[in-house]
Amino acid sequence: MTDYVLLETGQDERFLTDAELMDYLRPLVAKQESMEGEALERMLHHLVDTTCELNFGPGQYLQWYETTIDHPTNLSRFRRS
């Protein structure tokens, strides 16, 4: 599974799985490109695999970057005794 950090104008950064990123991008790309169905899914995969940004005009940005999120398995070592 791949994780991404999502950066968007006026929003806090968010961490998403690959499926969550696709779900987030789907309506935006569908509207911007007037696409649906299989063509939309191919476009989404292409965008995520080859680019890291959608252009919405001056001063507006939507960027995503692959990242690694380490999920600690044992937090007890961080607790004070």
pLDDT digits (tens, 9 = 90+) for 14-42: 999 999 999 999 999 898 888 889 999 99
pTM: 0.76
For 11-80, the DSSP string reads S--EEEEHHHHHHHHHHHHHHHHT--HHHHHHHHHHHHHH--EEE-STT-EEEEEEE-----S-GGGGS-
Q: What is the DSSP letter of 8?
A: E
Domains and CATH numbers, the chain: 3-69 (3.90.940.40)
**pLDDT confidence tier of residue 71, bands split at 50, 70 and 90:** low
Written as six digits, the tokens of 59 are 């001063």
Read off the pLDDT of each residue in 62-69 and give the average, rounded to a whole number: 88
- The Cβ of residue 33 has, within 10 Å, a number of other Cβ atoms equal to 13
